[in-house]
């Protein structure tokens, strides 16, 4: 049995970058002690997603480079611990920063930098640069290779995000988060996992952080098992609001066997009939006036 151990670092940020670095290192070490293969941070850990109720120019100055000591430290740490790390940051980028996730494998190699595609342009995130693509890379873990992609928070609310990652081969999607994970958002994650036959691991800030409530979760996407008469709950882990380092075990063999035999995901699609999804010059009922391409 190939059990991939995912550590969800549902932790409260500190006052500044150096303190977040120190706490992040300590939490990764604890995750390794718990047997984790992958450690995932909540959204924009470098500054604790502290971009609300502050002048935009002030928090923009907190953006850091992918080549910064902060990020390089987690790359070195991943190699030292023999554990993949998904570290999140307010990334310095051209004219406006990005909301990003840097994924290091257990050898300390940077596998990808994913920038949030669906920035919350209805709010303060309109001051960020949106990402342009979704990435999937193969991680070599202690229980074998696994194909991993990423979304960030609001990306979850667009079915296309997970669908593209599935089409690129993702078996597991990592989702850093910073918002209340209530029934509807949790239902979105459940749906994305079910309809694409993949696992989704989400790490949120705990209830000690304003407008957050923990409830980090893992959905394995396996709705049916051969020996069961009906469907099963695909939620294999859900935390409460309390700060902590939570470990969830994902059965990769079970997921892969399920994908070979079930009817969802890419099995019976009709992509030639979906042209409307990519056309921009069409009537848009229900689209707000501040819509941006």
Q: What is the pLDDT of residues 74-119, one digit of tens each?
A: 999 999 999 999 999 999 999 999 999 999 999 999 999 999 999 9
Interacting residues of 122 by C-beta distance below 8 A, sequence separation 6+: 288, 290
Percentage above 90 pLDDT, the chain: 90
pLDDT of residue 40: 99
> What would the mean pLDDT of 124-151 be, rounded to a whole number?
97
pTM of the model: 0.95
pLDDT of residue 291: 55
**Averaged pLDDT of the chain:** 95
Task: State yes or no: pLDDT of 226 exceeds 90.
Answer: no
Q: Cα separation of 166 and 264, whole Å?
A: 11
pLDDT of residue 65: 98
Q: Cα separation of 45 and 68, whole Å?
A: 14
Model confidence at 229, in pLDDT bands (50, 70, 90)?
Answer: confident
């Amino acid at each position: 049995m190939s059990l991939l151990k995912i550590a969800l670092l549902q932790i409260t940020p500190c006052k500044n970058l150096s303190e977040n670095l120190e706490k992040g290192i300590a939490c990764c070490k604890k995750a390794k002690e718990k047997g984790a293969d992958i450690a995932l941070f909540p959204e924009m850990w470098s500054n604790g997603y502290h971009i609300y109720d502050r002048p935009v120019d002030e928090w923009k100055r907190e953006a850091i480079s992918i080549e910064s000591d902060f990020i390089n430290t987690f790359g070195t740490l991943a190699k030292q611990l023999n554990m993949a790390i998904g570290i999140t940051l307010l990334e310095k980028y051209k004219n406006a920063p990005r909301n990003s996730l840097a994924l290091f494998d257990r050898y300390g190699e940077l596998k990808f930098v994913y920038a949030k595609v669906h920035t919350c342009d209805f709010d303060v995130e309109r001051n960020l640069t949106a990402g342009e693509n979704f990435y999937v890379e193969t991680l070599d873990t202690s229980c074998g290779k696994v194909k991993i992609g990423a979304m960030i928070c609001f990306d979850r609310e667009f079915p296309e995000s997970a669908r593209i990652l599935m089409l690129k081969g993702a078996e597991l999607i990592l989702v850093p988060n910073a918002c209340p994970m209530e029934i509807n958002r949790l239902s979105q994650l459940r749906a994305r996992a079910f309809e694409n036959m993949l696992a989704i691991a989400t790490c949120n800030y705990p209830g000690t952080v304003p407008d957050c409530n923990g409830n980090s979760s893992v959905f394995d996407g396996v709705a049916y098992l051969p020996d069961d008469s009906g469907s099963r709950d695909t939620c294999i882990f859900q935390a409460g609001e309390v700060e902590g380092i939570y470990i969830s075990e994902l059965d990769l063999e079970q997921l892969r066997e399920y994908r070979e035999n079930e009817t969802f995901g890419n099995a019976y699609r009709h992509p030639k009939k979906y042209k409307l999804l990519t056309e921009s010059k069409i009537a848009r009922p229900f689209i707000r006036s501040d819509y941006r391409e």
